[in-house]
Amino acid sequence: MWLVLLVAIVICAAALAGIYSRPMGFLATFWPANSILAGLLVRARQSNLLLVLAGALIGYEATGFIAGDPFWLGLQMTAANMIGAVTFAFVFCSLETRDRDLTRVRAVLSFIGSAIIAAVVAGVAGGPAWASMGDSNYFDGWRTWFSSELMNYLVLLPGILALPWPLPRPRFTSWSALLRHPVVPPTIALLASVGFGILVANPVAIVFPVAALIWCALVVPLPLTCLLVLLYSGATMFAVKLGGYGLGATGLSEELIAAVHLGVAMIALGPVLVASATADRRRQFAEVERAATYDSLTDALNRGAFLGRAETVFAGLRDARQPVSVIVFDVDHFKQVNDAFGHAAGDLALISLSAVVRASIRKGDMFGRLGGEEFSLLLPGAAAQEAVAVANRLRRQVERLRTALPSGEVLEMTISVGVATSPATQTAMSEMLSFADQTMYEAKHAGRNRVEFVEMPA
């Protein structure tokens, strides 16, 4: 029940805000309620859809009552509003099942198509309400309703869909660090261009912020870009209402209002497309970089990445004269596992082992796969006693590990572990890794499933 009440309050507040943007006549210049409802329907769980719709119905009807609209007219308007939002959610969720946060260009194209269809349907449903209000005909009502709905969908919905949930907690360090953040210059440029455009008494000034919007789309994260687009669009439409851009506060024709709606919508669409393409490209680059850095089976650092990062850590520890430990271990009799159960079972065993390792090591430790069933850990700042404790904890947890195979059998494993420690990082990484590897083989020769330790000479 709380969800119904919350949705009703949100929709009612958004609709009342839209009412105050009416420059004249009937339709609001800026109507956020329908876009908010469409976003809620897309992001809500399937079990909550009816509750969201019930809350929206109450919110719309409460708005009509507060605004003093006739009952039947308010009912028509509510139906048109909800039909458009439901149409958008249905079409968009049918087209895009994976990237509903608009982080791929394909998702944005699906979003645009869904917005156009929803605006067409809303215009068809809302045309009679428009015609009943004055001298305009049904087609004029459809055209005005369509342009207003399309503008609101294209301007508002990207911010709702792209916004991460739950919202991340902002990290504020200092004002100087905030001012040096790369998102600040394009944001300031956008605000300045919007303000300057409003002061210029000419309709062409509406396009002044386009360059700043594209700059934001290239630098600013997608959710923030969508919010900045919303800021531009809202400021522009309210400035039109108040007579900015040389359009005058009264006497605007319905054709001009529709043209302004569509113009702002097209301007808002460009930065969203650019930001989505930029986010998609960054994700693809991150995927390629991760594939080159991490082992695809165990998600541990591959040999090259592990050794490269370890050398960097070693350099810092050597300068600070801090201790460091290297652990090398592998699975005992792993060839027998592959021979008895198959390589698929061996892969499953390594995946289970890696999960146990990540749960056992400390924050800041590095985990890498050297090859086959042999792995290594780098423990920055760990002296001998702490490193041996980590190694023994890991050995015991692997010994208790039980891996269920698809055949129904249960696989058990043990590991042999070698530990090498340097008190003040006075030895090269390659030499410590070699000593840890030799110590691991000593553990195997001593009976396996045990930890052997060596301290590097100064």
116: closest CA among 157, 166, 150, 85? 150
User: What pLDDT sits at residue 392?
Assistant: 92
More confident residue, 249 or 284: 284
- Has residue 247 got a pLDDT over 80? no
For tokens 């949705």, the residue is: 7
The predicted-structure confidence for 268-319, as pLDDT tens digits, reads as follows: 888 988 988 888 888 888 888 888 899 989 989 999 999 999 988 888 888 8
Going by C-beta distance under 8 Å and a sequence separation of 6 or more, which residues neighbour residue 351? Answer: 297, 298
CA 449-454-458 angle, to 5 degrees, is 165
Going by C-beta distance under 8 Å and a sequence separation of 6 or more, which residues neighbour residue 369? Answer: 295, 298, 300, 301, 302, 303, 306, 354, 375, 376
pLDDT bracket for residue 130 (50, 70, 90): low
pLDDT bracket for residue 458 (50, 70, 90): low
CA 407-411-412 angle, to 5 degrees, is 170
The predicted-structure confidence for 164-183, as pLDDT tens digits, reads as follows: 766 666 666 667 776 777 78
In the chain, what is the straight-line distance between the N-terminal and C-terminal CA atoms, in Å? 70
User: What pLDDT sits at residue 133?
Assistant: 63
Average pLDDT of 430-452? 91
User: What pLDDT sits at residue 248?
Assistant: 65
The predicted-structure confidence for 107-120, as pLDDT tens digits, reads as follows: 888 999 999 999 99
Question: By three-state DSSP, how is residue 442 classified?
Answer: helix
User: What pLDDT sits at residue 29?
Assistant: 59
Average pLDDT of 241-259? 68
The predicted-structure confidence for 16-47, as pLDDT tens digits, reads as follows: 887 766 544 445 657 888 999 999 999 888 88
Give 213's Cβ-side CA count (13 Å radius).
Answer: 25
User: What pLDDT sits at residue 234?
Assistant: 79
The predicted-structure confidence for 95-105, as pLDDT tens digits, reads as follows: 877 778 888 88
Percent of the chain with pLDDT over 70: 90
- Has residue 351 got a pLDDT over 80? yes
Residue-range domain boundaries for the chain: 2-166+173-290, 303-455
The winner for highest mean pLDDT among 26-30, 60-64, 81-85, 149-153 is 81-85
Percent of the chain with pLDDT over 90: 30
pTM greater than 0.85 (yes/no): no
Report the top-level CATH class of 303-455: alpha beta
The predicted-structure confidence for 314-343, as pLDDT tens digits, reads as follows: 888 888 888 899 999 999 988 888 888 888
User: What pLDDT sits at residue 28?
Assistant: 60
User: What pLDDT sits at residue 55?
Assistant: 92
Longest CA span, the chain: 97
Average pLDDT, the chain: 84
> Rounded to an integer, what distance in angstroms lies between the CA atom of residue 209 and that of residue 197?
8
User: How many other CB atoms are found less than 10 A from the CB of residue 307?
Assistant: 17
- Has residue 255 got a pLDDT over 80? no
Average pLDDT of 201-217? 88
